[in-house]
């Protein structure tokens, strides 16, 4: 009579579908429900170039007034905003700011297109406040550098007294300074052709002798922007670092 031998070890698990000699083929069972992904805060809507867009909107309004208002009113507004010698002696800060609210030649002027392109590129690299500093610096310095000699020439008797009320307004000095400053942030293959093309255009206007004081002012403004390269390059690095730090805080 045969005896039945009971197994001394538990039966082996079903290994169907597994390959011999390859460990770790069975994935461990997960217990509990999977953790829900963390919700990130929705990024705030940011205007990339607030200074350029806001300033451009103001210029669009004043250009519309110039094109559609009564000519006598427009002339009075331009005359009151003019940075001539007489106004600079009485209300320098007011007219230096007010004169930059108008576009000589209207919104279709080439300087308007230059304003939008150049200031957008500069503001993306150095920020809104520093772009405003560059623009106003060139506007103020070039205005004083051109109107100062006019006042001295009137005192010396080389120009008539009517030169003290010479109409002078517009954004062209600020745009020329911004072109010079932006060139310092570009690669050499783009920097030098930009300076050569823009500077050549200004020299051609000066040689034409149509408005020598304004033409000299444009060249002075461009040189002011070039002289600001050490500052704008430092500002550009600081702006990149601040933008990187802000992006890191948003992603964490």
Whole-Å CA distances, 228 to 98, 140, 205, 223, 224: 24, 14, 24, 9, 6
Category of 169 on φ-ψ map: left (φ > 0), alpha (ψ -120 to 50) or beta: beta
**Contacting residues for 172 by C-beta, under 8 A, at least 6 apart:** 104, 111, 214, 217, 218, 221
Model pLDDT for residues 100-126, shown as the tens digit of each residue: 999 988 888 888 999 999 999 999 999
53, pLDDT greater than 80: yes
Chain centre distance of CA 99: 21
pLDDT in tens, 219-231: 999 999 999 999 9
Write the pLDDT tens digit of every residue in 75-105.
999 999 999 999 999 999 999 999 999 998 8
Q: Give residue 244's pLDDT.
A: 85
- Whether the per-residue pLDDT at 33 is higher than 60: the answer is no
Tell me the mean pLDDT in the region 44-66: 89
Calpha distance 11→237 (Å, rounded): 70
Q: Write the DSSP assignment of 177-222 as a string of letters.
A: HHHHHHHTTS-HHHHHHHHHHHHHHHHHHHHHTSSHHHHHHHHHHH
Measured over the CA atoms of residue 84, residue 90, residue 92 and residue 94, the dihedral's sign is: negative
Tokens of 33: 């429900």
Joined together, the tokens standing for residue 99 give 């004169």
Q: How confident is the model at residue 4 (pLDDT cuts 50, 70, 90)?
A: very low
| 17 to 21, 23, 201: CA distances (angstroms) | 13, 13, 80
Local structure of 161: helix, strand or coil: helix
Report d(CA 93, CA 171) in Å as an integer. 16
Once rounded to an integer, what is the mean pLDDT over residues 184-209? 95
Question: Tell me, what DSSP letter sits at residue 33?
Answer: P
Question: Would you state the structure tokens that stand for residue 167, as one six-digit string?
Answer: 């109409």
Q: Quick check: helix, strand or coil at residue 158? A: coil
């Amino acid at each position: 009579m045969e005896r039945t031998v009971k197994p001394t070890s538990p039966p082996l698990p079903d290994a169907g579908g597994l390959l011999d000699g390859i460990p770790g083929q069975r994935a461990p069972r997960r217990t509990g429900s999977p953790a829900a992904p963390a919700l990130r805060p929705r990024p705030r809507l940011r205007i990339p170039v607030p200074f350029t867009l806001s300033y451009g909107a103001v210029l669009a309004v004043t250009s519309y007034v110039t094109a559609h208002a009564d000519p006598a009113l427009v002339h009075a507004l331009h005359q009151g905003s003019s940075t001539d010698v007489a106004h600079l002696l009485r209300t320098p800060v007011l007219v230096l700011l007010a004169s930059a609210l108008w576009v000589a030649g209207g919104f279709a002027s080439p300087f308007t297109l230059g304003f939008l392109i150049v200031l957008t590129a500069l503001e993306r690299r150095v920020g809104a406040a520093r772009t405003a500093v560059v623009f106003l610096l060139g506007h103020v310095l070039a205005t004083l550098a051109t109107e100062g000699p006019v006042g001295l020439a009137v005192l010396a008797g080389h120009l008539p007294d009517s030169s003290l009320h010479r109409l002078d307004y517009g954004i062209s000095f600020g745009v020329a300074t911004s072109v010079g400053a932006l060139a310092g942030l570009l690669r050499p293959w783009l920097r030098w052709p930009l300076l050569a093309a823009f500077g050549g255009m200004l020299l051609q206007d000066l040689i034409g002798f149509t408005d020598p004081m304004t033409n000299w002012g444009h060249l002075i403004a461009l040189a002011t922007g070039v002289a600001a390269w050490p500052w704008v390059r430092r500002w550009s690095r600081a702006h990149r670092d601040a933008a990187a730090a802000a992006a890191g805080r948003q992603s964490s």
